[in-house]
Amino acid sequence: MTRIIMNGCGGHMGRVITELVESDKEAQIVAGVDIVTPPLAPYPVYSSVADVKEEADVIIDFSTPKILTKLIEEAQKRNIALVLCTTGYTKEQIAEIDEASKKTAIVRSANMSLGINVLIRLVQEAAKKLAAEGFDIEIVEKHHHFKKDAPSGTALAIADAINEALPEALPYVYDRSGRSEPRPQGEIGISAVRGGTIVGEHEILFCGTDEVITLSHMAYSKAIFGKGAVVAAKYVAGKGPGLYTMKDVIG
């Protein structure tokens, strides 16, 4: 049984995880932490992680980057693992996480979805073979009309992963308007579509002569991130110090 402290338990993701863990026989949320107490939480809720009295194996964090130092201190004091899912860390905070991982087992990922992380692995395999054969690579992502940033962080992470798999990194092209030339080889096109309530879609096209291979992922709800966080918590609980990624978690 993996005993979890849920930091940010009153937020969107905290509530998603609370629901997921309720039907999970191998995990239990022993305490929640939030500055706003959620109604009807099925566990004790504290306003600071330092006040939690219950014993735990791991802290899952979906809250704010502001609380990072406190979470690290608390994980080290209790000798338990950390699953950091919050986004928006500064370069200095990422260095702080690297340093902390010398003493503590930490999983950090800006995308906790198991599906996206498996997709990245498949895309890397395809890119290794197909880029060398001259296939053009295009990434198309689609999100709801409220999303402010474009392209999505996940589309960029997929492009970065493709470049990691290739002997030489390819440049990214976000906009072909105003270009009046055939598509050159050796670039990664990245396009963003915004509309309606689309939760998140990522499509990677490998376009060759007379054939196209498409790998794609569709998110239907944010529960996919919660599911990945719980799997990561089970994976990292009891592990030795180190910085683990979802690549390690999916094995």
Ligand X SMILES: NC(=O)c1ccc[n+]([C@@H]2O[C@H](COP(=O)([O-])OP(=O)(O)OC[C@H]3O[C@@H](n4cnc5c(N)ncnc54)[C@H](O)[C@@H]3O)[C@@H](O)[C@H]2O)c1
The binding site for ligand X (CB under 6 A) comprises 7-8, 10-14, 33-36, 62-64, 67, 85-88, 109-112, 222, 225
Would you say 232 and 249 are in contact if contact means Cβ atoms under 8 Å apart?
A: yes
Our CB check for ligand X shows the closer of 107 and 131 to be 107
Quote the least distance from Cβ 184 to ligand X, whole Å.
Answer: 34
**143 in catalytic set:** yes
Our CB check for ligand X shows the closer of 4 and 137 to be 4
Token code pair at residue 133: 């054969």
Quote the least distance from Cβ 232 to ligand X, whole Å.
Answer: 10
Our CB check for ligand X shows the closer of 114 and 170 to be 114
Our CB check for ligand X shows the closer of 12 and 176 to be 12
Which residues have CB under 8 Å from 26's CB, separation 6+? 1, 2, 234
Quote the least distance from Cβ 209 to ligand X, whole Å.
Answer: 37
| DSSP tag of 173 | E
Sheet strands side by side (includes 136-143): 172-173, 188-194, 136-143, 200-208, 211-219
Among the listed residues 12, 77, 143, 247, the single catalytic one is 143
Residue among 73, 54, 67 at smallest CA distance from 5: 54
Among the listed residues 53, 66, 145, 147, the single catalytic one is 147
**147 in catalytic set:** yes
CA–CA separation, 156 vs 60, rounded Å? 25
Quote the least distance from Cβ 216 to ligand X, whole Å.
Answer: 18
Determine how β-strand 2-7 pairs with β-strand 27-33: parallel
List active site positions: 143, 147
